[in-house]
């Protein structure tokens, strides 16, 4: 690899090399009137409505995985966090922390992915930062932080604390795809299959649900910690009980198989393009109807319902007809020995 094919410490020096990097990589793909001014801070125009603001950092390893890369994730993750609050995503910041040695071609692929998703969602990158850090033992890494500003849709009040008795729980598609795809790639498990991350921006899918403010009580994207952690958050914040049925959980056979091999519970595995939707039982059909009209919602289905007792608990009826508690994973789920 030639010296000018990779990121060098000089790219972070704030001089010509940094300027060229920003011009040739960032502005070329993501440029817009606000960003192009390259001011110290972006001046943005927002209506006098509820603003929603979020931030997230992305450290996925490897940065490319089947079905996406760290750039897709960095936009989708933050966009989805805004959407889960009932907001239309408007503006993003983009901070890159690059380890020296990263091939410029990799950086370009990541930025192109960011461009594609921002165009798809209709969100603009309006400010950013680039830093280069030493490689240490392992070079060529990339970390990204994005913050997002969105505007809450009129009349919408969705929150994890809004679930009430007799609501139903809907998941917008299959569970665990992202976590298993990344693990297969990272650990070189060599599982030959169509395991692909589900990384996707959810604005297009969820927008339709927010047009009628009374349709939805809670939205949650089951990322780290998976569906289990998201359900526990809802049950605890809303002081209600959630009862799900194992038979109803949409899980791809290959995800089930990989989880079985590794001793992981698909309920605890991360998703990056799914949402849990909590809505009144009477609105269930209307919600499913909206979701199923979008390509990301074709597998949407009801997986359970909300009860009053025992508050804060998630219980699952199992395939065998028994019951068990669904809890938040303690830390990183470690693959078992045998």
Partner 1 sequence: MNVETVIANVRSISETLNRRLVFMEVCGTHTVSAFRTGLRSLLPDNVSLLSGPGCPVCVTPTGYLDQAIAIARQPGTVIATFGDMLRVPGTESALEKERATGADIRMVYSPMDALNMAKAEPEKTVVFLGVGFETTTPTIAWTIKEACEQGLKNYYVLSAHKTIPEAMMALVSAGDVKLDGFLCPGHVSVITGSEAYKPVCAECGIPCVVAGFEAYDMARGIEMLGKQQMEGKAEVEVEYTRSVTAGGNVEAQKLCVDVFDKSDTEWRGFGVIPQSGLSIADKYNDVDAAIKFKGLEVPEAEDHSACRCGDVLRGICLPPDCPMFGKTCTPSDPVGACMVSSEGSCSAYYKYGQ
Instruction: Rule CB under 8 A: say whether 61 interacts with partner 1.
Output: no
Q: 10 Å Cβ neighbour count for 199?
A: 27
Q: Which two three-digit tokens encode residue 82? A: 């805004």
Residue 95 or 191: the one with the smaller Cβ distance to partner 1 is 191
Binding status of residue 336 toward partner 1 by CB under 8 A: yes
Name the residue among 4, 15, 6 with its Cα closest to residue 142. Answer: 6
- Site membership for partner 1, residue 327 (CB under 8 A): yes
Minimum Å gap between C-beta 331 and partner 1 is 5
- Smallest CA-to-CA distance from 96 within 145, 56, 49 is with 145
Q: Which ranges of the chain would DSSP assign to H, the alpha helix? A: 16-21, 28-30, 33-36, 70-83, 104-121, 177-186, 203-210, 226-237, 253-262, 284-292
Nearer to partner 1 by Cβ, of 81 and 333: the residue is 333
For strand 314-317 and strand 241-245, is the pairing parallel, antiparallel, or unpaired? Answer: parallel
Closest distance between partner 1 and the C-beta of residue 333, in Å?
7
Tokens, residue 134 = 């030493």
**Between 237 and 276, how does the x/- string for binding to partner 1 read (CB under 8 A)?**
-------------------------xx-x-----------
- Number of CB atoms found within 10 A of residue 247's CB: 10
Is the CB of 149 or the CB of 259 nearer to partner 1?
259
Least distance to partner 1 from the beta carbon of 134, Å?
16
Stretch binding partner 1 (CB under 8 A), from 46-54, 89-97, 101-109, 316-324? 316-324
Which one, 16 or 338, has the nearer CB to partner 1?
Answer: 338
47 binds partner 1, rule: CB under 8 A: no
Number of neighbouring beta carbons within 10 Å of residue 145: 18
Q: Does 338 sit near partner 1 (CB under 8 A)?
A: yes
Judged by CB under 8 A, which of 188, 192, 253, 285 binds partner 1? 188
- Chosen residue from 34, 189, 248, 301 binding partner 1 by CB under 8 A: 189
Determine which residue in the list 29, 72, 233, 333 makes contact with partner 1, applying CB under 8 A: 333
Question: CA 194 → CA 62, 191, 265, 301, distances in Å?
Answer: 18, 9, 19, 22
Q: Which is nearer to partner 1, 47 or 137 (by Cβ)?
A: 137
DSSP-derived pairing of the beta strands 87-99 and 124-133: parallel
Cα 96 to chain centroid distance, Å, stands at 18
* Count, residues near partner 1 per rule CB under 8 A: 26
What distance in Å separates the CA atoms of residue 315 and residue 326, rounded to the nearest whole number?
6
Closest approach of Cβ 199 to partner 1, in Å?
Answer: 24
With CB under 8 A as the contact rule, which of the stretches 77-85, 161-169, 185-193, 288-296 interacts with partner 1?
185-193
For the sheet containing 218-220, what is the strand order?
Answer: 218-220, 276-280, 167-171, 301-307, 241-245, 314-317, 323-326
- Which residue among 33, 47, 136, 331 contacts partner 1 (CB under 8 A)? 331
Peptide bond into 62 cis (omega under 30): yes
Nearer to partner 1, 2 or 336 (CB): 336
Q: Is 23 helix (H, G, I), strand (E, B) or coil?
A: helix
CA–CA dist 264, 336 (Å, integer): 8
Cβ-based nearer residue to partner 1, 252 or 313: 313
The region of 101-109, 209-217, 250-258, 325-333 touching partner 1 under the rule CB under 8 A is 325-333
The CB-of-239 to partner 1 minimum distance in angstroms stands at: 18
131 near partner 1, rule: CB under 8 A: no
**DSSP β-ladder status, 218-220 and 276-280:** antiparallel
Binding positions for partner 1, rule: CB under 8 A: 187-189, 262-263, 265, 316-325, 327, 329-331, 333-338
């Amino acid at each position: 690899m030639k010296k000018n094919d990779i990121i060098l410490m000089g790219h972070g020096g704030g001089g010509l090399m940094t300027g060229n990097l920003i011009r040739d990589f960032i502005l070329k793909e993501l440029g817009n009137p606000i960003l192009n001014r390259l001011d110290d801070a972006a001046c943005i125009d927002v209506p006098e409505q509820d603003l929603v603001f979020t931030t997230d950092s992305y450290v996925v390893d490897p940065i490319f995985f089947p079905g996406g890369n760290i750039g897709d994730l960095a936009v989708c993750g933050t966009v989805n966090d805004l959407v889960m609050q009932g907001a239309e995503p408007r503006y993003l910041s983009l901070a890159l922390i690059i380890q020296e040695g990263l091939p410029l071609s990799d950086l370009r692929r990541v930025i192109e992915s960011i461009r594609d998703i921002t165009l798809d969602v209709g969100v603009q990158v309006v400010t950013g930062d680039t830093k280069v850090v030493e490689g240490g033992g392992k070079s060529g890494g990339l970390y990204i932080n994005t913050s997002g500003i969105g505007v809450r849709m009129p009349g919408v009040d969705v929150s994890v604390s809004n679930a009430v008795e007799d609501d139903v729980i809907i998941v917008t598609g299959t569970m665990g795809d992202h976590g298993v795809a990344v693990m297969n790639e990272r650990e070189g498990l060599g599982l030959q299959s169509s395991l692909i991350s589900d990384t996707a921006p959810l604005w297009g899918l969820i927008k339709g649900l927010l047009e009628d403010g009374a349709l939805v009580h809670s939205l949650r994207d089951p990322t780290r910690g998976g569906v289990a952690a998201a359900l526990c958050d809802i049950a605890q914040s809303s002081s209600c009980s959630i009862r799900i049925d194992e038979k109803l959980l949409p899980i791809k056979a290959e995800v089930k198989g990989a989880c079985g091999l590794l001793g992981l519970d698909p309920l605890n595995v991360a998703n990056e393009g799914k949402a849990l939707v909590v809505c009144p039982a009477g609105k269930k059909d209307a919600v499913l109807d909206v979701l199923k009209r979008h390509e990301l919602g074709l597998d949407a289905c009801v997986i359970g319902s909300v009860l009053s007792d025992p508050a804060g608990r998630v219980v699952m009826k199992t395939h065998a007809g028994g019951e068990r508690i669904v809890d938040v994973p303690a830390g990183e789920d470690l693959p078992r020995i045998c």
